[in-house]
A and B are shown apart, each in its own frame.
Chain A
Amino acid sequence: MSEKVRIAQLSCGPEYSGVQKEIYDAAAMVDAEVFFPDIMLDDVREGFESFGLDVRSPDLKLAIGRAKALVEGKIDADAVFIATCFRCAEAAIVRNELRRYIHENSSLPVVSYSFTERTTSGTLLTRMEALTTIARRRALLAREEQEGITLGIDSGSSTTKAVVMKENEIVGTGWLPTTEVLKSAEGAVDLALAEAGVTMNDIQAIGTTGYGRYLIGKHFNAQLVQEELTVNSKGAVYLAGRQHGPATVIDIGGMDNKAISVLDGIPGTFTMGGICAGASGRFLEMTAKRLGIDITELGPLAMKGMGEKVPMNSYCIVFGTQSLVNALAEGSSREDVAAAACHSVAEQVFEQQLQEVDIKEPVIMVGGTSLIQGLVYAMGQLLQTEVVVPHHSQYIGAVGSALLASGFVKGE
């Protein structure tokens, strides 16, 4: 195993919430170690005062002092993890400002998280994995072209996607709903291979991502098993032809959402999560079902409606569904209800997650939900920008995996 990735922790409260061990455990799972930047009291004072954010909590002052020491290069680190208590306004301000400060003034990948006493290492794992990948695999992530014949598999919570790529072209795709993880993956792979006209023997390297990445990675003997934050960032800028400069990637998934601020194809800051399925693709699926249409019809239907006509707040999927039923019972049109559902999901992602990353154009939407035009439109309205949806965006994880896996072709 390579040298441990050193993650600097800037935090207030995890030791007192009983979750510091979870942070240690998550880091250990990806062969990283968490440390606390060592600075003197004068560094805290100076750093805090020069930063200019006059907070009262001493541990937040300490976090600011430590962030300054990291940015100024006084302390060596490979990545930064910022963690503060959920529901603390003072800490939320510090968390956001420090993330921005570190992102803009250093090349350190940074992720922030607000925890409760219920936070587990499992929740933190993908974030820690992304942090360590960026730190450890910059060379791999620098890849801009796919080479050879590679297979990428994305085992998501709702669907499983597979893509075969050959000499920088997508030559085969396949997708199936995720039922049994391995069975769905095998099915999707067969579809992609058939379309590409190749067999498993022709595949030179395999990459896997998504929730089932470890399981299918082992099953298919994958060379690359990678979390979806880095893979999707890479896939998004590749498909959109925006590999250089800044970009923002939004992926509204079936179970959680990702918002990633990318520079030159490498994620800088990212958020992952969602309070409730009401803010995810799952709610749109339910809406389609209630309207008696296929999910593919929801987008065009929503484009014909006016979101503002129907009040809907899908903060909770149960109440969100109820307001949907109410709206229909009160005689609202199916178009307006579809539009309201799209608007509600977009609004929540906007409020809960996009506030935590710096939105830089182009904004690229990926994942299955990016095919729902109504959702993309609503997001564009909220962000006041034209949202880019590249061709094959629903295969983003599989494309990113196939692209990055080509780093392993010919025993590289």
Chain B
Amino acid sequence: MVKVFIYPATSLILSDMVARFGHEPLGSAIGIRERIQTPGFESPPLQITPEEPKKGLKWAAVEVPSGVRGRMAVYGPLIEAAEAAIIVRNPDFAFGCMGCARTNELVLFHLRNRGFPVLELDYPTSDDEGAAFVAAIREFLEGLPKEASQ
């Protein structure tokens, strides 16, 4: 079982596919859960405090808007922990954690440059495309190691 970063990181479909085929999906929920379950100062709704955009400086410079840096504080560690990624291109309607196009561009850039296996595909728009979509993901996931590379 390896950790697979899913993009869009909020995707139900990708989260399901990765877990269904025996691996661990890494997405927004994992990063948000960690914050929601950690004591500290109150910062609703996501428990992302003003400190997080500062932590995001590791992935984006200070001239980059705070919302990008705050999101990168969530995604950066997940990308670093990941061992593979599945990317669905052009998720036009993934909001919230995936709501900023600039962050999404930066996340994609990091994923493509990690040197780990990456599968890129598009959302299906027909039954045939659905079959190809599932087959491609399954094949990709079955090609990943069964054990985490620690």
Contact = CB atoms under 8 A, between A and B. Distances in A.
A193 B65 CA distance: 51
B44 A24 contact: yes
Contact of B54 (A14, A60, A62, A117): A117
A88 interface: yes
Interface stretch (B77-85, B91-99, B112-120, B134-142): B91-99
A41 B64 CA distance: 29
A12 B44 contact: no
A57 B44 contact: no
Contacts, number: 108
A410 interface: no
Interface stretch (A15-23, A128-136, A280-288, A325-333): A15-23
A57 B101 contact: yes
Given A57-B101, A87-B64, A13 B96 contact: no
A90 B102 contact: yes
B56 to A, nearest CB: 9
A137 interface: no
A: contact size bracket: 20 to 34
B143 interface: no
B147 interface: no
A85 B65 contact: yes
Contact of A16 (B44, B70, B95): B70
* Residue among B46, B49, B96, B100 facing the most chain A CB atoms (10 A cut-off): B100
Contact of B50 (A24, A45, A55, A118): A118
A144 interface: no
B: contact size bracket: 20 to 34
Contacts of A41: 93
A18 B50 contact: yes
A44 interface: yes
A178 interface: no
B45 to A, nearest CB: 6
A284 B56 CA distance: 39
Contacts of A87: 63-65
Interface of A: 12-21, 24, 41, 44-45, 55-62, 84-88, 90-91, 115-118
9 contacts: A13-B100, A15-B48, A16-B68, A16-B100, A18-B49, A58-B91, A58-B100, A90-B101, A116-B66
Give 9 closest A-B pairs by Cβ, nearest first.
A13-B67, A59-B99, A85-B65, A16-B70, A18-B50, A56-B101, A17-B66, A57-B101, A117-B53
